[in-house]
Chains A and B, each alone.
Chain A
Amino acid sequence: MLLNGWKKGWIAMLLAICITAAGCQPAKEAGPAALPEANQAEQPQEIVLAAPRDLAPGPKDAYYTSLILYVWEPLIAGGEDGEPAPKLAESWEMSEDGREWTFKLRDNVRFHDGEKLTADAVIANFARYRKVSPKSSPFYTLNIDTSYPGLQNIAKVDELTLRLSFKDPQPTLPYAMANFASPIYSPNSFDENGDFKGLPQGTGPFKLIEHQKDAFALLEANPDYYGPKAKTGKIRVRVIPDPDTRLAALKAGEIAGVMDLGALPPEQARELLKDERFGVSHTASTISHYLHPNGKEGPLRDVRLRRAVSLAIDREMIVRELYRGYPTATVNILNATSPFHKELKVSYDPAEAKRLAGEVLGDKRQPVRLIVPSYGIDRYPYKAQAELIQHQLKDIGLDVEIRILDGAAFKEAQAKGDYDLALATQGLPNAEPFTILNQYMASSGSANKNYSLGYSSERVDSLLKEAAGLLDVEERRRIYDELQDIAAAELPTIPLFNDASLIAYDKRIQGYKALLYGTSLPELEWAP
């Protein structure tokens, strides 16, 4: 039976009320949770932030918490310029032959459980590295063999000094030790397997006082911290995996900011900046975005076609249109945050790309499989990026078929060479570029093998071997420069852009900004 006119009108009115209420009502006065009282005389005791994943995976993790929660500290930190910076080790010195490194620890540092930082405590941590390596983590794998290759002995020199002895010279050891490669905890933190017995007892400006897995981590300012104290008494970092829910929680005043990789997709940043209540902070990131070519089989074995693909992709357009201009376009395999990074000109030349592709393909069109990981789609606009690349490669005779695969299937397809092109992200393992260059460019490099890049060059293998034995850092730099040039010319992988760290915050807090790795969490406080 058809509805009468007034009944239809009544239903339409109900729907209209719902829709317009969502669109028109100001959300400013709303918001049920922690923040709304911020402007009142008495501010809430804790500040609530949110991250897409649990930044404290727990006692079986290599680190228990991410470095960006400031619970534990490394011996050597990565500075904002990418160079090694003192943290728990206040100074270090290399022996003349490069086989011994002596570290002087900072004095008057205590762990959260009251234990004093001493050479013995650091040696106990190195014993744990040895016991658990390789120890997985969502952040970085803890592996003494890759961070400290050929480590033979750790000796206590005095209460605050220790010496590491190596089989071969390790002139760039501080670069390899930065951040996740030298975490230090109270020796009482570990059980007999090297796992954490309870909450981690680090030396950082925050203590982890409560943790509910996949729900939240509660941090409390460490009153005995040796450096500048954290400005907020308590910070709760909630886990909100869905980006739309995170944004809604920020707008509703439930959280004061977001943190961690992919916390704020670029399109959300643009939307958020329309509202003057919120701010966005960004900086360079250690994440690089690549387009892996299958160099083992298929058309991309030919370096001319790889160059054609590289020249046909308008990187600036991808960065501008899909990432709102936050990242930087690059053709360099080495991330721009590395202190060894070399500036290389980014070229976009469709005519030359067409000519090169024509040399390889003739008049034929070539089908190409572009695989995209689903985790990339969750964090980045990878679907749109794949479609843009599909469109740009059409002009050089490549008919791109896009396949979206879950993470495990994506890795399997790369390992088996069941693809032609793959969108991929790569973090910088440490400030020493040897690791990443060796992984991608050495004939036996693990990334080269696992991604079926099929890259092999006698010159590169010999340069890597030479670099490994060099004591002088400037000599190493010369070799790394040449390797970057070779990578840009021969394209074992096709670099697209260097990512940016992007965070958002409610302007009722201050001092919160994105850093090269993490945020300025200890500086965070309520705005006056």
Chain B
Amino acid sequence: MGSLTRYLCRRLLAAVPLLVGATLIAFLLGVAAPGDPAREALGMSGVREPTEQELQAMREQLGLHRPLAVQYGLWLIKAAQGDLGVSYITKEPVAKELLRRLPHTLALAIGAVLIAAMTGIPLGIWMAARRNRWEDHLGRTVALLLVSVPGFWLAILFILLFSETWGLLPTSGFGGWRELLMPSAVLASGTGAVLMRLSRAAMLEVMNQNYMLTAKAKGLGELGVLIGHGLKNMLIPVVTVLGSSFGGIVGGAVIVEVIFAIPGIGRYAVEAIYRRDYPVIQGYVLFTSIVYVLFNLLVDLVYTWVQPQIRLGGAVR
């Protein structure tokens, strides 16, 4: 077994307790929150109130009469076999519904990461190159604004400008890149702004290194020095933020999915939380935990490409 395979196996095995812990916490928070899933399942329409007998029958049907440890244990055993249970409310299998919605949220998240990386990193480098000039000040102000502005406000502004006023993009929905552009940009705004400032700081640090001075002394142009010698060396903190923010973007897509009418997993989870639909909440938490784990793993692998002196397992050559 190669060192990479051993490393991957070790990391994936270490993730198992993390996933169990995350779903256990989600389960306990769910049952601790006030609300009765049986009441929600029977009273969806809000027109007719269920009787106590109907509620009791529904609790038994949903398995809510069992001790909490048994409820969680049964869910865990089934989840290990790939069965995430059935929604209390819609009666649809949770895994099937998550998989159906996954492409929507993934496309949104990947779009957001691409926009964040493709705008944040070049702008950060540019700001570093124009340090303390007006372009740098403008970039820092924009970054501060983007971090401070709430996503929903930016979404409303984008819809007002790009859809209502200029008619360039559709207000909502899911289909092609045109529908994805605005929600991805909204979702990318915070991460993009962080990347701008981080790339600027990292590049400024790199620019003071001796090898950069040597490259300049050899007569290379400013752009060539920044891209050829600076970029790869400043990427470690940037990749770290980018990787960890992907999980955050997936988890934070909820508001964007509601505003832009995208049937993704975030919207599914929020509706489940409102209705105390435990199997859906559990499935969502398990899924987002897996995304976090996988992307952190991916970040670690990217480290070895960016900085070959970093070895898998933590030691530095």
Count how many pairs of residues, one from A and one from B, have CB atoms less than 8 Å apart in the complex.
180
How far is the CB of B272 from the nearest CB of chain A, in Å? 11
Picked from A139, A238, A449, the residue with its CB within 8 Å of the CB of B45 is A139
Partner of A450, one of B44, B49, B161, B171: B49
Chain B nearest CB, measured from A372 CB (Å): 15
Contact bitstring B118-159, A, C-beta under 8 A = 1, else 0:
000000000000001010011001000000000000001101
Chain B residues near A30 (CB-CB < 8 A): 163-167
> Among A130-138, A476-484, A490-498, which stretch is in contact with chain B?
A130-138
Inter-chain contacts of B44 with A (CB < 8 A) = 136-138, 141
Q: Are B171 and A146 in contact (CB under 8 A)?
A: no
**CB of B107 within 8 Å of the partner chain:** no
Per the bound structure, the CA–CA distance linking A253 and B167 in Å amounts to 9
Write the nearest CB–CB distance from B132 to chain A, whole angstroms: 6
Of B49, B156, B258, B275, which is within 8 A of A241 by CB? B258
Q: A311 to chain B: closest CB distance in Å?
A: 27
Known contacts A57-B90, A238-B261; decide if A446 and B172 are in contact (CB<8 Å): no
Indicate if B208 sits at the interface (CB-CB under 8 A).
no
Tell me what chain B mostly uses at the interface: helix, strand, loop, or mixed: loop
Interface size of B in residues (CB-CB distance below 8 Å): 58
* Contacts known (A30-B167, A57-B90, A406-B274); A248 close to B173, Cβ less than 8 A: no
Q: A407-B40, A429-B47 are in contact. Are A18 and B156 (CB under 8 A)?
A: no
Q: Which of A119-127, A315-323, A324-332, A409-417 is found at the contact surface with chain B?
A: A409-417
A321 to chain B minimum Cβ distance, whole angstroms, is 25
Q: Does B137 lie within 8 Å of A415, measured CB to CB? A: no
Question: In the complex, A27 Cα to B167 Cα: how many Å?
Answer: 7
How does the 8 Å CB contact mask read for A348-385 relative to B, with 1 for contact and 0 for none? 00000000000000000000000000110000000000
Separation in Å of the A440 CB from the closest CB of chain B? 9
Interface members, chain B 198-254 (any A CB < 8 Å): none
Closest to A2 in B: B137
Q: Please tell me if the beta carbons of A408 and B275 are within 8 angstroms of each other in the complex.
A: yes
Docked Cα-Cα span, A291 to B168, in Å, equals 45
Answer whether residue B41 sits at the interface, using C-beta atoms and an 8 A cutoff: yes
Residue of A nearest to B263 (CB): A214
Give 17 CB contacts A-B under 8 Å.
A21-B161, A21-B166, A30-B164, A31-B167, A32-B169, A57-B90, A134-B54, A213-B100, A241-B267, A245-B261, A248-B163, A253-B167, A375-B274, A408-B275, A411-B40, A427-B47, A439-B48
Chain B positions within 8 Å of A, measured between CB atoms, are 33-37, 39-52, 54, 89-92, 100, 132, 134, 137-138, 141, 156-157, 159-161, 163-174, 178, 258-261, 263, 267, 273-276
